[in-house]
Chains A and B, each alone.
Chain A
Amino acid sequence: MVKIVEPVIAVDQLVKVYKTTRAVDGISFALEGGSITGLLGGNGAGKTTTIAMIMGLVMPTSGTVRVLGAEMPRQRYHVLHKMNFESPYVDMPHRLTVRQNLKVFGKLYAVEDLDDRIEALARALDLTEFLDRPTGKLSAGQKTRVALAKALINSPQVLLLDEPTASLDPDTADWVRSHLERFRKERGATVLLASHNMAEVERLCERVIIMKRGRIEDDDTPERLLVRYGRQTLEEVFLDVARGRGETREAAQ
């Protein structure tokens, strides 16, 4: 008998309409356990709305999202403790120290041996010396690492990242990527990463979903995308898709 493995994230015919704008327009994809997938697209492509619907933060107009078998947002409380999220556009209370913030979130996620977990995360993310400093007094790079520590506090099975390295210097961004790679390998977590940083996606992701105006324009491994578009980098592929050259090239071939 063949055992059917249910995808960790299953998005089916997902649509989100804000008043007259179709932010997400009938997209479908499924992510297997332990995979790391990049969600690429320009501003307004629908990446953030897609991630928000996967988290249960935004209600779909139609279509379904299932995470670890739970329908979102209706059954979100069955799985939210196994998920987490990081975005530079979401802050943590500035006046609280890093340790206090992590303690609050650790308690919300019912993390066992919380003090040890905070110490371990601080060591891994090079935050030990900042643990007792107010979060608002840290640099952008340090704040990103704190946000990442919060996103990893519950060792999530599903990790959603919205432009995790935006506004970081190249060195810090590279450091964050290395840590994400390590976490994914060690935990076997499923990671969905929305970004418009092509180098980041190329380095981290084994699969890339390219969105444009709320639709999926392409969905494949980075290698196959490069071959299909006849390009050297994902950035060139992205530009082809963004400027509508993908169809032209395929038609010409």
Chain B
Amino acid sequence: MSAAATSAVTLAPHRIAAMVLRYVYLLRSSWTRLLELIYWPAVQLFVWGFLQFYIAQNSGFFARASGVFIAAVLMWDVLFRGQLGFSVSFLEEMWSRNLSNLMISPLRPIEFVCALMIMSLIRLAIGMLPVTFLAMGFFGFNVYSLGLALAAFFVNLILTSWAVGIVVAGVLLRNGMGAETLAWTLMFVLMPLTCVYYPVSVLPPWLQVVAWALPPTYVFEGMRALLMEHMIRIDLMLEAFVLNVLYFAAGVLAFLQLLKSARRVGSLLQTGE
């Protein structure tokens, strides 16, 4: 590896910490931003929680599968909010026209990505922790009772969310704010394909092939196996992890290529529409 390339991938914790500090300052400055983090996951929880109550009263099968919808909504939120936490922190730089300042500072792209991943975790913790306690209080569903499986679900979902977030950030760098919609909507393409609320077997065979190419599908299938059949599917988690490593590496490479392309077309100078 050349000296320049080595220098570009060297990680300096103080620069990552500086960027995290910047986003923490921002969160602290606005209670509406904090409230927003909790608001939508809580709304989702209540909608799906009450739906689960209703279906369970009328169906013996769903009564046995207690908490499957609530667990699905919580897991989906880890995936969606994880990506959003990453992308929104990145968008903050574009909204405040601060990106050029960062790009001419010693901050390496990989350090920027690390800071965004840390912020994704922080935002997720702020948004999701209270909602998990609401799930306990209102619907008697304790997500933490999933134990180690929960950790495996979380790691796999967060890795996918970061892989998507990294690609979205690269597209935003390359194409400017015109691509902002991607940050809010891209993950919804995955929603029907990853079978959040229904088993993969529901999909037509050709779509099942697509579904099994996506790591979250393994997580949601694993979650249903645990809640409905009381089986821990380690095989599914390992397969998801391998796919995630591949997607994450591809995401980082795509980001670096898009950043290079942004330097070529001059879009780092103009980060508006």
Contacts and interface: CB of A to CB of B under 8 A. Distances in A.
Are A and B bound to each other? yes
Interface in A74-113: 74-75, 77-78, 80-81, 83-85, 87, 89-97, 100, 103-105, 107-110
Contacts of B12: 110
Q: What is the predominant secondary structure among interface residues of chain B facing chain A?
A: helix
A62 B21 CA distance: 39
A122 interface: no
Contacts of A92: 96, 98, 101
Contacts, number: 109
A134 B29 CA distance: 9
A55 B264 CA distance: 13
A110 B263 contact: no
A107 B14 contact: yes
A108 B104 contact: no
Interface string B82-102: 000000000010001110111
A96 B106 contact: no
Interface string B252-271: 00000000100111101100
Contact of A80 (B106, B265, B266): B106
Instruction: Using C-beta atoms within 8 Å of the partner chain, give the interface range for chain A.
Output: 35 or more
A92 B92 CA distance: 11
A93 B8 contact: no
B174 interface: no
A59 B29 contact: no
B260 to A, nearest CB: 8
Interface in B1-53: 3-4, 7-8, 10, 12, 14-15, 17-19, 21-22, 25-26, 29-30
A61 to B, nearest CB: 8
A57 interface: yes
Interface in A2-35: 16, 18, 23
A158 to B, nearest CB: 11
Given A57-B269, A108-B15, A108-B18, A77 B96 contact: no
A37 interface: no
A58 interface: yes
Instruction: Using C-beta atoms within 8 Å of the partner chain, give the interface range for chain B.
Output: 35 or more
B24 to A, nearest CB: 10
A214 interface: no
Contacts of A242: none
Contacts of A134: 29
Interface string A219-234: 0000000000000000
6 contacts: A16-B266, A18-B266, A85-B104, A94-B96, A110-B12, A110-B106
Given A55-B104, A77-B10, 20 more contacts: A23-B266, A52-B269, A58-B264, A58-B266, A59-B264, A75-B4, A77-B108, A83-B104, A85-B100, A85-B104, A87-B100, A90-B97, A90-B100, A91-B98, A93-B96, A104-B21, A107-B15, A107-B18, A107-B21, A108-B102
